[in-house]
Amino acid sequence: MLNIALPKGRLGDKVYKVLAEAGYDCHEAFDESRKRVFESTDAQVRYFLVKPSDVAIYVQHGAADVGIVGEDTLLESGAGVCELLELGAGRCRKSVAGKADFREDPDRSLRVATKFANIAKRYYAGIGREIEIIKLNGSIELAPILGLSDVIVDIVESGKTLKENNLAVLTEIFPISARFIANKTSYTFKEDEVNAMLKALKAAAEGERA
Amino acid sequence: MTMNRQPNLPAGERATLALRGLYEQFGFRKYQIGYFEEYGLYLQYKNFLTDEHIVSFTAPDGRLLALKPDVTLSIAKNIRLDNGPAKAYYIENVFREDRASGTIREISQMGLESIGFTSAYAQAEVLYLAAETLSAIGPASVLRVGHMGFILGLFDALGLSVADRTKVIEALAAKSPHGVEDAARAAGIGAVGLNVLSELCSLSGTADETFAKARGLCLNGRMSAALDELEATVRAVGSDFNLKPDFTLKGDMEYYDGLLMNGYVNGVPNAVLSGGRYDGLMKKLGRDLPAMGFALYLDDLKRLPRDNENDGADVILIADADAAPADLLAAVRSLTDSGRRVKVATAVPADANGAEVLRFDGKEVRSC
């Protein structure tokens, strides 16, 4: 049996379509229910619906054999997993945003509010900028408005939330999309099952792109 | 006296007992190192370590010491080589930071190092012992084997810079075709190189099939030579083991340049064994000699179920409190000699857990 970790929320809604097209119908998992584990009728596959940032952790620790995760949360977790396919679904941008009229003072360290501390640290280390990280868990857009930080590092999809809060994208760090990942031991011992799912997802993702 | 008394040891402890004898049979001698090492050693060779966080402290004499995070480095630096090649095995604890909990973890490792050898036999021997090591843990095991020379040869052929090599090797290790494509695009790699990299991510099949496919991907003599060496070594070990060629295995590019291996057992989510040929490290240590070894992570094996989940006893032997000790001990030994674990009690305990309950009547053991 293949154990599959899926993300709840916005990304989950997007990958659900691709999964259904690939023959992995998991509508029960996405229905309003408090049930956390769902088995397919033929008992070949078991789905877990977890927080998007936890998918990579479930896969890394082998509780799930495979999973679908946003590239940003995968990078943030630093999980050592096989990253087998870019799904295309859930495309957005990891960006630096701030007040539209923000002017950076290069004479002091930049205060950066984010959920993604590791990505922010790596990005600013790469451009040699000293920063102070303010780790937040939600409503990141509030930070520059209230003066908690100079900028934020966050996911930008349409940019609507930023605009509504008088914020703007200052720099795009990298584009992101959903990834199909596998635990290294599972990919060793369940190679055929994982490859069958990989093949089906690849075909479905290509269909989506077409 | 029968010593068949390890019926329910955890896999790690059982493997330790079995493997010590095996390593000794192949001429490896036990090597013990201290808990502490000069901090500077690890600082100088930090890329060789899998984790850069080292626990350091100041000794009473003012030297900066570290709780050893690694065994190979200490052996490679200190083992005596004046009598020719050295073969050592170890069972040691190392100390690393656990980032998730912010604490220090003590990790048990067992492994061996073969240093200064002069023939191809030595690396076949190490690979064979790595395969035997995995087999000792359980039948469901796979040893992935790769060759750093194959990857470095490919990088030479593609003319990659050091920064680009790092990106490509990370994408390969994640078996990520899109990661490889991104890194290749950024490095200006052409269609032929990209095709080779993409193929390497998805190579599968039997060892013969994988070697044949890899042969078709060689772009220069260094890749072919590495492939020849890997194939010959795998064939020397034979088909008794589940060896799987995998050209996405990675090692630090400065220290590793030959065979690489990662061992997996079903039930543990990460590699439980890793190793390879680290001539580059030896050279940096000023000892320009070939060297190869591997480590088995014993703590990870604790995740495996025991043969018998009943960790109390196989037999509860009920005996009166005033039973003669000599007679009762003889009765217990008659049971333990058959490999069973026996707990003596005056009444059936609440946690019998399905153990067989027998009664000692003062003379002999009877069913209840």
| Cross-chain residue pair A84–B268, CB shorter than 8 Å | no
Q: Quick check: A82 contacting B, CB < 8 Å?
A: yes
Higher pLDDT, B117 or A209: B117
* Residue B1 confidence (pLDDT): 39
pLDDT surpasses 80 at A175: yes
DSSP string, B247-291: TT----TTT--SEEEEEEETT-SS-SEEEEE-HHHHHHTT----E
pLDDT surpasses 80 at A28: no
B49 burial type by CB count under 10 A (0-12 exposed, 13-18 middle, 19+ buried): middle
Which of B142, B144, B174 has the CB atom closest to A83's CB atom? Answer: B174
pLDDT surpasses 50 at A42: yes
Q: Cα separations (Å) of B342 from B6, B10, B329, B351?
A: 12, 18, 11, 14
Q: Which chain A residues contact residue B204 at CB under 8 A?
A: 191, 195
Q: How far is A205 from chain B (nearest CA, A)?
A: 13
Reported as a single tens digit per residue, the pLDDT across A62-116 is 999 999 999 888 988 888 899 999 987 777 888 999 998 899 888 899 999 999 9
Q: How far apart, in whole angstroms, are the C-alpha atoms of residue A48 and residue A69?
A: 13
Q: Quick check: A80 contacting B, CB < 8 Å?
A: yes
Residue of B nearest to A180 (CA): B176
pTM (predicted TM-score):
0.82
Q: Quick check: A60 contacting B, CB < 8 Å?
A: yes
Q: What is the mean pLDDT of chain B?
A: 89
| Cross-chain residue pair A185–B174, CB shorter than 8 Å | no
* Residue A75 confidence (pLDDT): 86
| Cross-chain residue pair A83–B142, CB shorter than 8 Å | no
Reported as a single tens digit per residue, the pLDDT across B205-244 is 899 999 999 999 999 999 999 999 999 999 999 888 999 9
* Residue B192 confidence (pLDDT): 92
Q: Which chain A residues contact residue B206 at CB under 8 A?
A: none
Which of A60, A83, A184 has the CB atom closest to B271's CB atom? Answer: A184
Q: How far apart, in whole angstroms, are the C-alpha atoms of residue A138 and residue B324?
A: 71
| Locus of tokens 């630090």 | B252
Residue of B nearest to A191 (CA): B204
Contact status, residue B17 vs residue B298, Cβ threshold 8 Å: no
Q: How far is B261 from chain A (nearest CA, A)?
A: 14
The predicted model gives B160-171 an average pLDDT of 92
The predicted model gives B293-318 an average pLDDT of 81
A residues 169-198 closer than 8 Å to B (CB): 183-189, 191, 195
In this structure, what token pair is assigned to residue B312? 């109390």
Q: Which of B91-100, B159-168, B183-192 has the lowest mean pLDDT?
A: B91-100
* Residue B195 confidence (pLDDT): 94
* Residue B306 confidence (pLDDT): 66
In this structure, what token pair is assigned to residue B357? 């309950």
* Residue B3 confidence (pLDDT): 41
pLDDT surpasses 90 at B51: no
Q: Quick check: B204 contacting A, CB < 8 Å?
A: yes
Q: Which of A69-78, A131-140, B226-235, B306-315 has the lowest mean pLDDT?
A: B306-315
B residues 125-164 closer than 8 Å to A (CB): 140, 142, 144
Contact status, residue B53 vs residue B99, Cβ threshold 8 Å: yes
* Residue B2 confidence (pLDDT): 39
* Residue B183 confidence (pLDDT): 92
| Cross-chain residue pair A188–B142, CB shorter than 8 Å | yes
Q: Which chain B residues contact residue A180 at CB under 8 A?
A: none
What is the 3-state composition of chain A as percent helix, strand, coil, each rounded to the nearest 5? Answer: 35, 30, 35
Instruction: State the ipTM, two decimals.
Output: 0.75
Angle between helices B120-137 and B11-25 (to 10 degrees): 150
Q: How far is B176 from chain A (nearest CA, A)?
A: 5
| Cross-chain residue pair B174–A82, CB shorter than 8 Å | yes
Q: How far is A65 from chain B (nearest CA, A)?
A: 9
The predicted model gives B44-53 an average pLDDT of 76
* Residue A29 confidence (pLDDT): 66
Q: How far is B151 from chain A (nearest CA, A)?
A: 18
Beta strands across the sheet bearing A110-114: A131-135, A110-114, A151-156, A92-99, A167-176
Q: Quick check: B271 contacting A, CB < 8 Å?
A: yes
Q: How far apart, in whole angstroms, are the C-alpha atoms of residue B233 and residue B122?
A: 10
| B235 torsion bin: left (phi>0), alpha (psi -120 to 50), beta (else) | alpha
* Residue B40 confidence (pLDDT): 86
Q: How far is B5 from chain A (nearest CA, A)?
A: 32
In this structure, what token pair is assigned to residue B185? 């695009």
Q: How many other CB atoms are found less than 10 A from the CB of residue A183?
A: 28
Best B175, B249, B268, B273 member to test A by mutation, with max A CBs in 10 Å, is B175
Q: Which of A30-44, A69-83, A153-167, B188-202 has the lowest mean pLDDT?
A: A30-44
Q: Quick check: A149 contacting B, CB < 8 Å?
A: no
Residue of B nearest to A66 (CA): B269
Which of A85, A183, A191 has the CB atom closest to B204's CB atom? Answer: A191
Phi/psi for B158 (5° steps) reads -85, -5
